[in-house]
Structures are given as structure tokens and as C-alpha cells.
Structure 1
Amino acid sequence: MLKINDDEPFVLGHLHTILVKVWNGGDISREWKDATIKVLYKKRDRSNCNNYRGISLLSHVGKVPIKIITKRLSAFCEANNILPEKQCGFRPGRSTVDMLFVVRRLQELGRRKKIPL
């Protein structure tokens, strides 16, 4: 993420002005929206396409409005109970690990009661 110190008011002032214009006008610079996709090798056989994953490299300044929008949408969804309880990924105070625990617990209960999953 872009790191600007508090003692750099000149940069912060200009960045704030630009972001307000983008927010109010809805016109985002192409450079902020474009991503460069790089392919990263994960493991095992290099000739197998499944052993690679893509990563998107984005503009640091372009990430700022995305972060603002993400935080506002998240807060709105949480405040209005829009997301189902089962949705734990990418939510504050929750994790997909929580759902793995639930699945594991259901599996244990199913075995105990001899109910096939």
C-alpha cells in the first residue's frame, strides 16, 4: 500500500484533491484501473498449468479509492445484515477458518450419530 508520512502535507493535499475529484466525478484514470498480471509458479510439475497462479499488480494510488469503497461497502453490509451468517470470508472478525471448524464439527457429530455426510 502507498505509504505517505504525516509530515508530507503537500503530497497528502494533492492526493486528497485528486481522490475527491475521482469520488465526485466517477472518472478514474486508466492507469489506476489497469492491472499487470504476472504468472507465479506454485509447486510440482512446471509443465502443468494448474501449478501456476496469477497475481494482479495494481497502481498504488489506484488502490486508495478501492480500499475506501471496500470499507464503506463492508460497513454498510454489516450494519444492514445483508450478508448471510454462513459468509465468513472477507468479513471483519471472521474467517473461512471459522467455517472449516463448523464443517469439522458437523462431520464429528455425523460420525457419532452414524449419519453419512
Structure 2
Amino acid sequence: MKSGRAVGPDDIPVEVWKCLGEAAVEFLTSLFNRVLESERMPEEWRRSVLVPMFKNKGDVQSCSNYRGIKLMSHTMKLWERVVEARLRKVVEICEQQYGFMPRKSTTDAIFALRILMEKYRDGQRELHCVFVDLEKAYNRVPREELWYCMRKSGVAEKYVRVVQDMYERSRTVVRCAVGQTEEFKVEVGLHQGSALSPFLFAMVMDQLSEEVRQESPWTMMFADDIVICSESREQVEENLERWRFALERRGMKVSRSKTEYMCVNEREGS
């Protein structure tokens, strides 16, 4: 984990564990083994501070232009890293997912898409692409859907319960310029700012898109951003509708305002 990050409610910076060296490793190993055995983490880890961050676009007075980032315990984030490492050993994510995957990046997805576009441009053929954006993707993931997707991905029931424990009785306060709110429960969505959430989201997307995705580069995903390509406008519209139905029936929502269409070598009258 990187240094210099804001602390959570327990006020323990990650630098503490780095400075303690071998003593920290021994202590955390013992602590995490106890948490894994009991399937119950410390109550202090369930608390967080939600900080609204402006997206640097749109009206600064509109709440929809802010992203909520949770400041969580760094010790819990280390525990999440341990759980993530265990999950990655048993869960296989589809090749179309480029987000938060080892040896993959946004650059790879962009490169693959550019090669596809150049191929169709050189051949004077049409290529139709839709860039799909999911509305408040992390916040919309139903918890029951998460447990279902974990089990379907082959995660052992013990680790399903361990992740469920991370979300049980979670509470937060909102911090802003004039102070902070009273504490309230968080009962829906993935934790923003969590070390484990990106992989959990990739797992959910992998299962929800299983019946509709095509081979790369015809379908590519980077976390909650999706690119759908086809040789005709009719086909790409049909594929988009299939994606919309598959995602929205399971609690997600396609953003109509942020989803974009593009055509390479569009012919007149097409």
C-alpha cells in the first residue's frame, strides 16, 4: 500500500505498519488468522468516513457531480489485500476484463481498439462502437447479487462469509466543509475506497455479462466502462439492448447521458 494516504476512523496510518517491520508482520499474521478463523473482524473496522470529492466537471453545486470516497481503516485494507490474494487464486476473470487485472491496463484495451479501428479503416469497412457507462456502478451492486456471484465464481463458502462480515453492520459519517453528519448504516453497494472492491466488482461484472459478452476486442471492459463493437449499427444496437437488459435486471443501470456511439468509415445513408 502507498504511503501518505488519509487515515480512517482509527487514526492509524499505513506507515505505522511499515515502520514496525518484522514485528508488524508477526502481529498482523496472528490478527488476520484470528479474524479468518472466527469470521469476525474488529468492530472498529466497520466504521468509515465518507468524503464527497468533486469530479472536476459539471456544476459544483450539483450532488451528482461528486464521488463519495470512504476513508477506512488501513489495517482493514491490509486484511482485504490478504482476502483478495486468496480469491484471485480460485476466481478466473474473463479475458475481456482489463480493469484491475494482473499484466493488463487501460493502455492494452486502447491499443486493441485502435488496431481494430485501423483494420476497418484500411479496408474501407464500417465499424460501429458503443461506449457504455454504468451509473453509480459501485453504489448499485446489490449485496445479495455479490454473494451469488462469488458462489458462482467458485469461491469457498468460508470466504463468502468472510466478505459478508466486512459488510455487516457497516456504518459511516459524511465529512464536509462545515463538519460531519451523524453516523448511519450503509446497506447497499460496494465500499468506495476499499482495497477489495475493484476485484469484487470485476467478479460481479464477469458473472452478469457471461451470457452477452463477445470475444475481445468485440467486447472489452475496464471496470464499469464497457466497449461494444459490431460491423453494423443494427447489430451494435441489438447487442447494447442485450447488455442493458442483462445488467438492469440484476440491479445495475446504464447511464443514458454518458453512453456514447461512434462509427468508423460511416457511409452515406447507412
Q: TM-score of the superposition, structure 2-length normalised?
A: 0.37
Number of aligned positions between the proteins: 112
Match of 2:69 in 1: 55
Structure 1 distance, partners of 2:96, 2:30, is: 40
Q: Does 1:71 align with 2:85?
A: yes
Where do residues 22-61 of structure 1 align in structure 2 (5 Å cutoff)?
A: 22-44=35-57, 45-61=59-75
Structure 2 distance, partners of 1:72, 1:8, is: 22
Change (3 A) 1:64 1:47: same
Residue 127 of structure 2 aligns to a residue whose secondary structure is: coil
**CA deviation string 1:39-96 (max 9, x = no partner):** 012324212334321111110111111000112222333xxxx221111211111113
Gaps of 5+ in 1: none
Q: Does 1:115 align with 2:129?
A: no
Structure 2 distance, partners of 1:7, 1:107, is: 50
Structure 2 distance, partners of 1:49, 1:33, is: 25
Structure 2 residue identity aligned to 1:57: L
Kindly indicate whether structure 1 or structure 2 has the higher relative contact order, using CA contacts under 8 Å at least 6 residues apart: 2
Structure 1 distance, partners of 2:55, 2:43, is: 31
Q: TM-score of the superposition, structure 1-length normalised?
A: 0.78
The answer to whether the Cα contact below 8 Å between 1:74 and 1:91 also exists between their aligned partners in 2 is no
Segments of 4+ in structure 1 off by > 6 A?
Answer: none
Residue 89 of structure 1 aligns to a residue whose secondary structure is: coil
Answer 1 or 2: which has greater strand percent: 2
Offset of residue 12 of structure 1: 4.5
The sequence identity of aligned pairs, in percent, is 29
Residue 76 of structure 2 aligns to a residue whose secondary structure is: helix
Match of 2:110 in 1: 100
Structure 2 distance, partners of 1:47, 1:90, is: 32
